[in-house]
Structure 1
Amino acid sequence: MMCLELIAEFDPFLAKHVSNHGNHGKGHTNYLSHFTYEEFIKLMAVKVQNKVVEKIIRARYFSISIDSTPDIGHIDQLSFIFRYVNSDGLPVERFLCFFENVGHKSQNMADAVFSILKKYNLDILYLRGQSYDNAKNISGVYSGLQARICEVAPLAYFIPCSAHSLNLIGSYAASCCKEANSFF
Protein backbone atom coordinates (compact mmCIF):
# COMPACT_ATOMS: atom_id res chain seq x y z
CA MET A 1 0.00 0.00 0.00
CA MET A 2 2.87 2.36 0.79
CA CYS A 3 4.21 1.92 -2.76
CA LEU A 4 0.84 2.89 -4.22
CA GLU A 5 0.60 5.94 -1.97
CA LEU A 6 4.06 7.05 -3.11
CA ILE A 7 3.20 6.58 -6.77
CA ALA A 8 -0.14 8.34 -6.20
CA GLU A 9 1.78 11.51 -5.32
CA PHE A 10 2.76 11.71 -9.01
CA ASP A 11 -0.41 10.33 -10.62
CA PRO A 12 -3.66 12.30 -10.12
CA PHE A 13 -5.90 9.40 -11.20
CA LEU A 14 -4.30 6.99 -8.74
CA ALA A 15 -4.29 9.68 -6.01
CA LYS A 16 -8.05 10.11 -6.39
CA HIS A 17 -8.61 6.34 -6.28
CA VAL A 18 -6.47 5.93 -3.15
CA SER A 19 -8.17 8.85 -1.37
CA ASN A 20 -11.65 7.53 -2.22
CA HIS A 21 -11.08 3.85 -1.56
CA GLY A 22 -7.88 3.33 0.42
CA ASN A 23 -7.59 2.56 4.15
CA HIS A 24 -11.14 3.29 5.32
CA GLY A 25 -10.87 0.50 7.85
CA LYS A 26 -12.24 -2.97 8.24
CA GLY A 27 -15.48 -3.79 6.43
CA HIS A 28 -14.97 -1.35 3.55
CA THR A 29 -14.08 -2.71 0.13
CA ASN A 30 -11.18 -0.79 -1.37
CA TYR A 31 -9.94 -3.07 -4.18
CA LEU A 32 -6.35 -2.45 -3.10
CA SER A 33 -5.30 -5.96 -2.19
CA HIS A 34 -1.69 -6.91 -2.73
CA PHE A 35 -2.77 -8.50 -6.03
CA THR A 36 -4.21 -5.19 -7.19
CA TYR A 37 -1.25 -3.01 -6.32
CA GLU A 38 1.22 -5.58 -7.71
CA GLU A 39 -0.77 -5.44 -10.94
CA PHE A 40 -0.54 -1.62 -10.90
CA ILE A 41 3.21 -1.81 -10.44
CA LYS A 42 3.59 -4.39 -13.24
CA LEU A 43 1.54 -2.22 -15.59
CA MET A 44 3.68 0.82 -14.78
CA ALA A 45 6.88 -1.20 -15.24
CA VAL A 46 5.74 -2.34 -18.68
CA LYS A 47 4.89 1.26 -19.59
CA VAL A 48 8.34 2.47 -18.49
CA GLN A 49 10.08 -0.38 -20.34
CA ASN A 50 8.11 0.42 -23.49
CA LYS A 51 9.15 4.09 -23.28
CA VAL A 52 12.80 3.10 -22.84
CA VAL A 53 12.58 0.73 -25.82
CA GLU A 54 10.92 3.46 -27.94
CA LYS A 55 13.81 5.79 -27.17
CA ILE A 56 16.40 3.11 -27.96
CA ILE A 57 14.71 2.38 -31.29
CA ARG A 58 14.46 6.11 -32.06
CA ALA A 59 18.19 6.49 -31.32
CA ARG A 60 18.82 3.50 -33.62
CA TYR A 61 22.31 2.58 -32.37
CA PHE A 62 22.87 1.33 -28.84
CA SER A 63 25.27 -0.56 -26.62
CA ILE A 64 24.64 -2.98 -23.78
CA SER A 65 26.18 -3.53 -20.39
CA ILE A 66 25.36 -6.75 -18.59
CA ASP A 67 26.26 -7.79 -15.09
CA SER A 68 25.02 -10.48 -12.75
CA THR A 69 24.08 -10.09 -9.13
CA PRO A 70 22.15 -12.24 -6.67
CA ASP A 71 18.68 -11.07 -5.67
CA ILE A 72 17.20 -11.26 -2.17
CA GLY A 73 16.47 -14.98 -2.71
CA HIS A 74 20.13 -15.58 -3.66
CA ILE A 75 19.19 -16.29 -7.29
CA ASP A 76 21.69 -14.87 -9.75
CA GLN A 77 20.09 -12.28 -12.06
CA LEU A 78 21.47 -10.62 -15.17
CA SER A 79 20.81 -6.89 -15.33
CA PHE A 80 20.54 -5.36 -18.80
CA ILE A 81 21.56 -1.72 -19.18
CA PHE A 82 21.30 0.01 -22.53
CA ARG A 83 23.28 3.06 -23.57
CA TYR A 84 22.24 5.26 -26.47
CA VAL A 85 22.37 8.87 -27.62
CA ASN A 86 19.10 10.78 -27.24
CA SER A 87 17.69 13.32 -29.69
CA ASP A 88 19.58 16.14 -27.91
CA GLY A 89 22.87 14.38 -28.63
CA LEU A 90 23.44 13.40 -25.01
CA PRO A 91 24.44 9.87 -23.97
CA VAL A 92 21.83 8.11 -21.84
CA GLU A 93 22.02 4.87 -19.84
CA ARG A 94 18.81 3.06 -18.97
CA PHE A 95 18.17 -0.10 -17.03
CA LEU A 96 15.71 -2.24 -18.99
CA CYS A 97 15.22 -5.51 -17.14
CA PHE A 98 16.47 -8.37 -15.04
CA PHE A 99 16.79 -11.83 -16.52
CA GLU A 100 17.26 -14.92 -14.39
CA ASN A 101 20.82 -16.07 -14.97
CA VAL A 102 20.92 -19.11 -17.23
CA GLY A 103 24.35 -20.24 -16.12
CA HIS A 104 27.89 -19.13 -16.71
CA LYS A 105 28.50 -20.67 -20.13
CA SER A 106 28.96 -18.10 -22.85
CA GLN A 107 26.47 -19.75 -25.22
CA ASN A 108 23.72 -19.68 -22.58
CA MET A 109 24.44 -16.03 -21.84
CA ALA A 110 24.46 -15.19 -25.56
CA ASP A 111 21.08 -16.88 -25.92
CA ALA A 112 19.79 -14.72 -23.04
CA VAL A 113 21.04 -11.55 -24.77
CA PHE A 114 19.45 -12.59 -28.07
CA SER A 115 16.22 -13.42 -26.22
CA ILE A 116 16.04 -9.99 -24.54
CA LEU A 117 16.76 -8.17 -27.79
CA LYS A 118 14.08 -10.20 -29.57
CA LYS A 119 11.55 -9.70 -26.75
CA TYR A 120 11.86 -5.91 -27.03
CA ASN A 121 12.16 -5.87 -30.85
CA LEU A 122 15.69 -4.44 -30.76
CA ASP A 123 17.70 -5.27 -33.87
CA ILE A 124 21.10 -6.70 -32.94
CA LEU A 125 22.57 -5.24 -36.13
CA TYR A 126 22.30 -1.79 -34.48
CA LEU A 127 24.28 -2.96 -31.45
CA ARG A 128 27.53 -0.98 -31.42
CA GLY A 129 29.08 -1.80 -28.08
CA GLN A 130 29.11 -4.35 -25.31
CA SER A 131 30.57 -4.08 -21.84
CA TYR A 132 30.91 -6.80 -19.23
CA ASP A 133 33.29 -7.84 -16.49
CA ASN A 134 36.57 -9.52 -17.34
CA ALA A 135 35.59 -13.14 -16.73
CA LYS A 136 36.86 -15.44 -19.50
CA ASN A 137 33.40 -16.87 -20.24
CA ILE A 138 32.25 -13.34 -20.99
CA SER A 139 35.24 -11.44 -22.32
CA GLY A 140 36.92 -14.35 -24.11
CA VAL A 141 37.99 -13.36 -27.62
CA TYR A 142 37.34 -16.77 -29.20
CA SER A 143 34.40 -18.29 -27.38
CA GLY A 144 33.27 -15.76 -24.76
CA LEU A 145 29.97 -13.93 -24.79
CA GLN A 146 31.48 -10.96 -26.58
CA ALA A 147 32.85 -13.21 -29.35
CA ARG A 148 29.48 -14.90 -29.81
CA ILE A 149 27.74 -11.55 -30.13
CA CYS A 150 30.41 -10.29 -32.56
CA GLU A 151 29.67 -13.30 -34.79
CA VAL A 152 26.16 -11.90 -35.32
CA ALA A 153 26.90 -8.17 -34.90
CA PRO A 154 30.51 -7.53 -35.97
CA LEU A 155 30.28 -3.80 -35.17
CA ALA A 156 29.42 -4.47 -31.51
CA TYR A 157 32.85 -3.75 -30.07
CA PHE A 158 33.72 -5.07 -26.63
CA ILE A 159 34.84 -2.62 -23.96
CA PRO A 160 35.81 -4.14 -20.60
CA CYS A 161 33.94 -2.66 -17.66
CA SER A 162 36.33 -0.21 -16.01
CA ALA A 163 34.71 -0.67 -12.61
CA HIS A 164 35.55 -4.37 -12.67
CA SER A 165 39.07 -3.62 -13.94
CA LEU A 166 39.59 -1.09 -11.17
CA ASN A 167 38.39 -3.63 -8.61
CA LEU A 168 40.88 -6.20 -9.96
CA ILE A 169 43.70 -3.64 -9.85
CA GLY A 170 42.79 -2.69 -6.27
CA SER A 171 42.67 -6.34 -5.21
CA TYR A 172 46.03 -7.05 -6.80
CA ALA A 173 47.60 -3.91 -5.31
CA ALA A 174 46.33 -4.83 -1.85
CA SER A 175 47.63 -8.39 -2.18
CA CYS A 176 51.13 -7.08 -2.99
CA CYS A 177 51.35 -5.16 0.28
CA LYS A 178 52.60 -7.46 3.06
CA GLU A 179 51.35 -5.10 5.78
CA ALA A 180 47.82 -5.06 4.35
CA ASN A 181 47.78 -8.85 4.03
CA SER A 182 48.88 -9.37 7.63
CA PHE A 183 46.47 -6.70 8.89
CA PHE A 184 43.41 -8.19 7.16
Structure 2
Amino acid sequence: MGNTPTPAVASEARIKALYVYYFTNFVRWPEQRHPNRFCTYGSDKVTATLHLLVERKNQPNKQYDIQTLDDLDSLSTQCDILYLTAERLAYLPAVPQIRGILTVSDSDIFLQKGGMIELRAYQHRIKPAIALDHVNRSELTISAHLLRIALLPADVKTGGRGE
Protein backbone atom coordinates (compact mmCIF):
# COMPACT_ATOMS: atom_id res chain seq x y z
CA MET A 1 0.00 0.00 0.00
CA GLY A 2 2.97 2.32 0.45
CA ASN A 3 1.81 5.95 0.57
CA THR A 4 -1.44 5.45 2.45
CA PRO A 5 -2.37 8.65 4.30
CA THR A 6 -2.50 8.56 8.06
CA PRO A 7 -5.99 7.98 9.48
CA ALA A 8 -6.23 11.53 10.93
CA VAL A 9 -5.39 13.15 7.59
CA ALA A 10 -7.71 10.86 5.62
CA SER A 11 -10.49 11.42 8.10
CA GLU A 12 -10.19 15.24 7.94
CA ALA A 13 -10.23 15.19 4.12
CA ARG A 14 -13.23 12.84 4.17
CA ILE A 15 -15.14 15.06 6.61
CA LYS A 16 -14.50 18.12 4.44
CA ALA A 17 -15.50 16.26 1.27
CA LEU A 18 -18.69 15.04 2.95
CA TYR A 19 -19.55 18.59 3.95
CA VAL A 20 -19.15 19.76 0.35
CA TYR A 21 -21.21 16.84 -0.94
CA TYR A 22 -24.05 17.32 1.54
CA PHE A 23 -24.26 21.10 1.07
CA THR A 24 -26.60 20.20 -1.82
CA ASN A 25 -29.20 19.32 0.85
CA PHE A 26 -28.76 22.47 2.96
CA VAL A 27 -28.53 25.25 0.40
CA ARG A 28 -31.38 26.44 -1.82
CA TRP A 29 -30.47 27.49 -5.35
CA PRO A 30 -32.32 30.02 -7.50
CA GLU A 31 -35.33 28.67 -9.41
CA GLN A 32 -35.67 25.86 -6.84
CA ARG A 33 -33.51 23.57 -8.96
CA HIS A 34 -31.49 20.81 -7.34
CA PRO A 35 -27.75 21.22 -7.85
CA ASN A 36 -25.91 18.34 -9.48
CA ARG A 37 -22.64 19.80 -10.75
CA PHE A 38 -19.57 19.87 -8.53
CA CYS A 39 -16.36 21.50 -9.68
CA THR A 40 -12.92 21.53 -8.13
CA TYR A 41 -10.19 24.05 -8.81
CA GLY A 42 -6.82 22.66 -7.84
CA SER A 43 -5.91 19.29 -6.40
CA ASP A 44 -5.52 18.19 -2.79
CA LYS A 45 -6.74 15.41 -0.50
CA VAL A 46 -10.18 16.98 -0.19
CA THR A 47 -10.69 17.22 -3.97
CA ALA A 48 -9.49 13.63 -4.47
CA THR A 49 -11.87 12.42 -1.77
CA LEU A 50 -14.75 14.48 -3.18
CA HIS A 51 -14.23 12.98 -6.65
CA LEU A 52 -14.37 9.45 -5.20
CA LEU A 53 -17.39 10.29 -3.08
CA VAL A 54 -19.41 11.72 -5.96
CA GLU A 55 -18.57 8.76 -8.20
CA ARG A 56 -19.54 6.22 -5.50
CA LYS A 57 -22.72 7.96 -4.32
CA ASN A 58 -24.30 8.35 -7.77
CA GLN A 59 -27.64 6.57 -7.90
CA PRO A 60 -30.06 6.13 -10.80
CA ASN A 61 -32.51 8.71 -9.38
CA LYS A 62 -29.84 11.26 -8.38
CA GLN A 63 -26.90 11.77 -10.71
CA TYR A 64 -24.10 14.14 -9.85
CA ASP A 65 -21.32 15.33 -12.11
CA ILE A 66 -17.86 16.35 -10.94
CA GLN A 67 -15.06 17.90 -12.91
CA THR A 68 -11.73 19.55 -12.33
CA LEU A 69 -11.41 23.02 -13.81
CA ASP A 70 -8.19 24.28 -15.38
CA ASP A 71 -9.40 27.88 -15.13
CA LEU A 72 -12.49 29.71 -13.91
CA ASP A 73 -13.59 31.09 -17.30
CA SER A 74 -16.46 28.61 -17.78
CA LEU A 75 -17.46 28.49 -14.13
CA SER A 76 -20.95 29.91 -14.59
CA THR A 77 -22.01 27.29 -17.13
CA GLN A 78 -20.42 24.22 -15.53
CA CYS A 79 -20.78 24.40 -11.74
CA ASP A 80 -23.30 24.58 -8.90
CA ILE A 81 -20.72 24.04 -6.15
CA LEU A 82 -17.08 25.04 -6.55
CA TYR A 83 -14.39 23.78 -4.16
CA LEU A 84 -11.14 25.80 -4.38
CA THR A 85 -7.89 24.47 -2.94
CA ALA A 86 -5.77 26.74 -0.74
CA GLU A 87 -2.93 26.50 -3.25
CA ARG A 88 -5.04 27.80 -6.16
CA LEU A 89 -6.78 30.39 -4.00
CA ALA A 90 -3.42 32.00 -3.19
CA TYR A 91 -3.14 33.06 -6.87
CA LEU A 92 -6.64 34.55 -7.14
CA PRO A 93 -7.18 38.23 -6.36
CA ALA A 94 -10.78 37.41 -5.34
CA VAL A 95 -13.20 34.49 -5.33
CA PRO A 96 -15.79 34.88 -8.10
CA GLN A 97 -19.31 35.56 -6.82
CA ILE A 98 -21.67 34.29 -9.49
CA ARG A 99 -25.43 33.83 -9.20
CA GLY A 100 -26.27 30.25 -8.29
CA ILE A 101 -22.74 29.04 -7.50
CA LEU A 102 -21.74 28.07 -3.96
CA THR A 103 -18.01 28.49 -3.27
CA VAL A 104 -16.23 26.40 -0.62
CA SER A 105 -12.62 26.03 0.56
CA ASP A 106 -10.62 25.15 3.65
CA SER A 107 -8.22 28.08 3.22
CA ASP A 108 -8.02 30.55 6.11
CA ILE A 109 -8.07 33.49 3.65
CA PHE A 110 -11.11 32.25 1.72
CA LEU A 111 -13.80 34.40 3.32
CA GLN A 112 -11.65 37.54 3.10
CA LYS A 113 -11.28 36.95 -0.65
CA GLY A 114 -15.05 36.72 -1.16
CA GLY A 115 -15.67 33.01 -0.56
CA MET A 116 -18.89 31.71 0.97
CA ILE A 117 -18.15 28.69 3.17
CA GLU A 118 -14.78 27.96 4.73
CA LEU A 119 -14.33 24.50 6.26
CA ARG A 120 -12.49 25.49 9.42
CA ALA A 121 -10.83 23.42 12.13
CA TYR A 122 -12.39 24.63 15.38
CA GLN A 123 -12.20 22.97 18.81
CA HIS A 124 -10.97 19.66 17.29
CA ARG A 125 -13.82 19.60 14.77
CA ILE A 126 -14.44 20.80 11.25
CA LYS A 127 -17.09 23.51 11.16
CA PRO A 128 -18.43 25.57 8.28
CA ALA A 129 -17.68 29.29 8.65
CA ILE A 130 -20.24 31.09 6.50
CA ALA A 131 -20.08 34.62 5.08
CA LEU A 132 -23.81 35.21 4.62
CA ASP A 133 -23.37 38.45 2.67
CA HIS A 134 -21.34 36.56 0.03
CA VAL A 135 -23.96 33.79 -0.09
CA ASN A 136 -26.76 36.35 -0.52
CA ARG A 137 -24.97 38.05 -3.44
CA SER A 138 -25.19 34.78 -5.35
CA GLU A 139 -28.91 34.45 -4.57
CA LEU A 140 -28.42 31.28 -2.54
CA THR A 141 -30.19 30.51 0.74
CA ILE A 142 -28.61 28.53 3.60
CA SER A 143 -31.00 26.31 5.59
CA ALA A 144 -31.51 26.85 9.31
CA HIS A 145 -30.11 23.35 9.94
CA LEU A 146 -26.73 24.33 8.48
CA LEU A 147 -26.77 27.76 10.14
CA ARG A 148 -27.22 26.12 13.57
CA ILE A 149 -23.88 24.31 13.36
CA ALA A 150 -21.99 27.05 11.49
CA LEU A 151 -19.68 29.81 12.62
CA LEU A 152 -21.45 32.98 11.52
CA PRO A 153 -20.24 36.54 10.80
CA ALA A 154 -19.34 37.59 14.38
CA ASP A 155 -17.74 34.20 15.02
CA VAL A 156 -15.95 34.16 11.66
CA LYS A 157 -14.08 37.40 12.37
CA THR A 158 -12.81 36.17 15.73
CA GLY A 159 -12.15 32.54 14.85
CA GLY A 160 -15.31 31.35 16.60
CA ARG A 161 -14.50 32.82 20.02
CA GLY A 162 -17.30 35.41 19.98
CA GLU A 163 -16.77 39.16 20.26
TM-score by length of 1: 0.24
Work out which of the two has the higher radius of gyration on C-alpha atoms and give 1 or 2.
1
TM-score by length of 2: 0.26
Relative contact order higher in (CA < 8 Å, ≥ 6 apart)? 2
More helix as a share of residues: 1
